């Protein structure tokens, strides 16, 4: 473990019970993005860090998975989830995070602009120069699983004292964050495998329907998560509930058309207009997909089922599959469409996200719409096809939408 020691820190002793409670809580988070955000947030809170970055290793590079900075992003934490996430660093000594990932050692640095010249790592000031931010103290720890695999790096920036002044991190901080990082790494590895399974399901649907690409699914999931969070904040939904539901809605949105794997290629890949009979058969993807998530005691199954079954319902009641007696009946008859708040909010959210992304995406039967035209379509159909309140929220979050589109380019 390397350090650059100056004056000893006078920070408050850390509460080990709070650390243990946080460790326990992260092991109950199944959605990867929710977990990454929580790990970074809790580690920063624990040592009173102004900023931080969580990197994950993929293809022998370090990718910016989450960036938080209370000074720079206080007004728009949502956009910061995506603005840096396509960037990456090599696993070498040209960056502090690269050194930690490649060496497996943690770093404790009192002032990154006064690093000793006899060490194997260096600080790259380019971010400070571009953002007009001043990095001072840093605590950087590897995320190492119980099988000794380095899966990423947790980088904490600028410890703050009770007056908001930048101070060094302490050796106690390093011990506690290293302990937390070991538990976080195992939770991340488990959640990462779960997300890979979801993406494989999306890729399976893509084999059947060329329009259901993994990038489309990721964009719809991200739009839906951000839209839900704003909606939930406006209703003062407790943060823990909001974060849990946000993650489940994001994943469910990615799987909204998974039922299409059971629909004939003759329908999915037909270039001409579908007949009335073919349109009816296509509508069955909502029921067939929802049947995959039938566990009554699982909150995840409930939200996935709600989204998959209802994302083609319309605010005015003219959507499908409508009110049906049971998903498990062999002979299901589509009933009268659900209307307004009869439609679960998760499905109302995904409907907007899905339609918007489909409109601005290229299809064999149409050119991509420009963003302004797609937004105007949402506005004109608010109160008919879409929940008008959710449309208004979506129209007001276009800075975040733009960041998501840049992350998951076409």
Lowest average pLDDT, out of 52-66, 132-146, 205-219, 283-297, goes to 205-219
Nearest residue to 1 via CA among 100, 143, 97: 100
pLDDT of 48-82, one tens digit each?
999 999 999 998 899 988 889 998 876 555 666 67
If we measure between CA atoms, which residue out of 191, 171, 173 comes closest to residue 183?
191
Average pLDDT over residues 315-333: 92
| pLDDT of 343 over the 90 cut | yes
Residues with catalytic annotation?
260
Radius of gyration of the chain (CA): 24
CATH superfamily of 209-407: Hypothetical protein af1432 (1.10.3210.10)
Burial of 120 (0-12, 13-18, 19+ CB in 10 A): exposed
Length of the chain measured in residues: 410
Q: In the numeric block, which tokens belong to residue 186? A: 């195992």
The residues, ordered by sequence, that sit 6+ positions from 154 with a Cβ below 8 Å of its Cβ are 39, 40, 43, 52, 54, 55, 140, 141, 142, 143, 177, 181, 184
- pTM equals 0.81
Q: What is the CATH number of domain 2-191?
A: 3.30.450.40
Pairing of strands 49-58, 2-4: unpaired
Are 253 and 224 in contact, with CB atoms under 8 Å apart?
yes
Side-chain-side CA neighbours of 108 within 13 Å: the count stands at 21
User: What does the pLDDT average to over 319-330?
Assistant: 91
Question: Look-up: residue for tokens 């489909």?
Answer: 358
Residue ranges of domains in the chain: 2-191, 209-407
Chain position carrying tokens 């719809």: 220
Give which of 402, 410, 360 is closest to 83, Cα–Cα.
402
Under DSSP, is residue 198 helix (H, G, I), strand (E, B) or coil?
Answer: helix
Report for 77-91, 105-119, 151-165, 193-207: range of highest mean pLDDT: 151-165
pLDDT at 80: 61
CA distance 155 to 226: 25
């Amino acid at each position: 473990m390397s350090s650059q020691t100056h004056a000893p820190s006078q920070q408050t002793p850390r509460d080990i019970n709070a650390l243990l409670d946080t460790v326990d809580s992260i092991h109950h988070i199944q959605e990867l993005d929710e977990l990454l955000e929580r790990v970074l947030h809790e580690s920063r809170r624990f040592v009173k860090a102004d900023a931080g970055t969580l990197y994950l290793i993929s293809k022998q590079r370090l990718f910016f998975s989450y960036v938080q900075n209370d000074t720079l992003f206080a007004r728009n934490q949502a956009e910061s989830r995506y603005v840096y996430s396509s960037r990456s660093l090599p696993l070498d000594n040209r960056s502090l995070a690269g050194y930690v990932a490649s060496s497996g050692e943690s770093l404790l640095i009192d002032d990154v602009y006064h690093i000793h010249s006899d060490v194997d790592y260096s600080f790259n000031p380019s971010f400070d120069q571009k953002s007009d931010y001043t990095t001072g103290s840093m605590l950087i720890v590897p995320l190492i699983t119980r099988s000794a695999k380095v899966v990423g790096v947790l980088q904490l920036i600028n410890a703050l004292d009770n007056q908001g002044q930048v101070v060094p991190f302490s050796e106690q901080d390093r011990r506690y964050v290293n302990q937390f990082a070991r538990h976080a790494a195992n939770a991340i590895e488990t959640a990462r495998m779960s997300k890979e399974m979801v993406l494989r399901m999306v890729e399976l649907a893509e084999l059947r329907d060329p329009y259901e690409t993994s990038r489309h699914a990721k964009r719809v999931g991200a739009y839906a998560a951000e839209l839900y969070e704003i909606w939930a904040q406006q209703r003062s939904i407790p943060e823990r509930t909001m974060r849990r539901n946000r993650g489940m809605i994001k994943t469910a949105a990615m799987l909204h058309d998974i039922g299409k794997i059971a629909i004939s290629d003759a329908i999915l890949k037909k270039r001409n207009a579908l007949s009335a009979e073919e349109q009816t058969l296509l509508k069955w993807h909502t029921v067939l997909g929802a049947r995959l998530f039938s566990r009554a005691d699982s909150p995840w199954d409930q939200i996935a089922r709600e989204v998959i079954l209802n994302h083609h319902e319309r605010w005015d009641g003219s959507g499908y599959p409508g009110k049906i007696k049971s998903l498990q009946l062999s002979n299901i008859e589509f009933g009268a469409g659900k209307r307004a708040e009869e439609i679960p909010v998760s499905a109302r959210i995904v409907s907007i996200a899905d339609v918007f992304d489909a409109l601005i995406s290229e299809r064999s039967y149409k050119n991509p719409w420009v963003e302004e035209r797609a937004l105007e379509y949402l506005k004109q159909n608010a109160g008919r096809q879409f929940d008008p309140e959710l449309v208004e929220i979506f129209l007001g979050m276009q800075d975040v939408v733009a960041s998501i589109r840049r992350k998951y380019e076409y």
